[in-house]
Structures are given as structure tokens and as C-alpha cells.
Structure 1
Amino acid sequence: MEDPTPRVNFETMMRYHGRKVILCCQIEQIENGQVRALTSDKGQVTVLAGSSPFEGRFAEVLGTVVNPNTLQAIEHTNLSDNYNLDMYNELVKLSHKDAYIGQFST
């Protein structure tokens, strides 16, 4: 059985080096297959993009953590332009509390 895939923000992403995570982020710039993104807790990350294009302002990325601020995308979903990153950040914070570990993972 595979480990659950945790939802992360900038603060929690570094705990999962080499593991798959889910990150919702705001797309800031796309250049040469790399996406500069703003996380729900206002951190800057680089997403090494896969083959499908990022469209719109927000995306949910399933990827592998390369280092504390880089994610290698496996796949992503383009989200609505009115996605609420603040609410997502609250979900991430709750999901990393001991009482809720694993309940918000896929």
C-alpha cells in the first residue's frame, strides 16, 4: 500500500523531500518549462512542469518534492480563477495537526 499523498504549503513542503505531495498555488510566471508559483502561505516555489500547459491563475499540482522550494510536477489541474488560497492554507494547517494526520490526504 502506498503512503498517503499529503497536501502541503511552503512551510510543510520541505518535510517531504523525495515524496509525492499535492500543492495548490497561484501561477506567477511560466518560462522554459518552469512555473514560478506563490503558495497558500505566500512562499515562492518553482514547479518543473510536465507536458500539459498551465492555464489560468491557480493550479493544484501533484508532484515530487525535489528540494524545499522545487516541485517536479507529475500532473496538475487548472483551478478556477477565483480559487481561495487562504482557505486551502487553513486546510493544510489542520491536516498537519496530530489529531488530523492522514484525514486530508489522497
Structure 2
Amino acid sequence: MESGMDCSEPTPRVNYDIMQRYIGRKVRLVCKVEEWSGDSLKASTCDGQTVFIKPKQGSQYDTQFVEIEGVVENNTTVQEESYTAFGDSFDMQNYNKLCELSNGPVQELFL
């Protein structure tokens, strides 16, 4: 394990449905960019819902799929702290299953 890394509270990977449990907390959300205006990102989640991302200044969403790490503000909005480009080809159905498994009865396997 890298020194200085805090693993005490891993950041959960969520879909829209699971995100509702984490209002006020940090999550990881992979989404497909639908509309990007510079101060707001409209995106679709792996379970087919619409969310809005408040980007950090300087963020450039230049791939079709991105992972947002940030705080859930309300049931449709995440305040981005960082993002990772996931390219233009990503299997959202498989990712949705990962979210369900990693937040369900076998979640200890993902910690």
C-alpha cells in the first residue's frame, strides 16, 4: 500500500439509484457526456438516468465517458472534485452491475 493513502473510507462507485444514498458524501460516478456548457455537464448514468455535474474550474470533458469523483449535492447533482476520462467506448451495462455488486451484499469483496 502506498504511504499516505487513506483507505479508511473508500469512495463508493455509484449509479443514479445508489447515488441517492450518498447525498452530502463523496462518490465515483461514471457517466456519458450529453451536453457540456462549461459551467454545467448534463450526463446519463449507467442505469439510464440524467444527472448534472458542477465541474471544477478548468475541467475539460473531451471524451464521451468520464468518471466523476465528487460530492453528491442532491438527487441529481454532483459537485466535481476530480474527473478521469474513460474514452469513447465503455460498457455501461457491465459498470451498472459492478455498482450494484459493490454496494450490495458482497460489497466487502470490493473494499
Query: Greater strand share, 1 or 2?
Result: 1
Corresponding residue for residue 54 of structure 2 = 48
Task: Give runs of ≥4 in structure 1 deviating > 6 Å.
Answer: none
SS class of match (2:110):
coil
Q: What is the Cα deviation at residue 33 of structure 1?
A: 1.2
Provide the rounded CA distance (Å) in 1 between the counterparts of 2:47 and 2:9: 25
- List alignment gaps of at least 5 residues for structure 2: 1-5
Provide the rounded CA distance (Å) in 1 between the counterparts of 2:79 and 2:98: 22
Provide the rounded CA distance (Å) in 2 between the counterparts of 1:53 and 1:32: 8
- List alignment gaps of at least 5 residues for structure 1: none
Q: Determine if the alignment matches structure 1 residue 6 to structure 2 residue 12.
A: yes
Number of matched residues?
104
Provide the rounded CA distance (Å) in 2 between the counterparts of 1:18 and 1:103: 25
State which of 78, 96, 104 in structure 1 corresponds to 2:103: 96
Corresponding residue for residue 18 of structure 1 = 24
Larger radius of gyration: 2
TM-score (norm 1): 0.91
Q: What is the Cα deviation at residue 70 of structure 1?
A: 0.3
CA RMSD of aligned residues (A): 1.3
Does structure 2 conserve the Cα–Cα contact (< 8 Å) formed by 1:8 and 1:92? yes
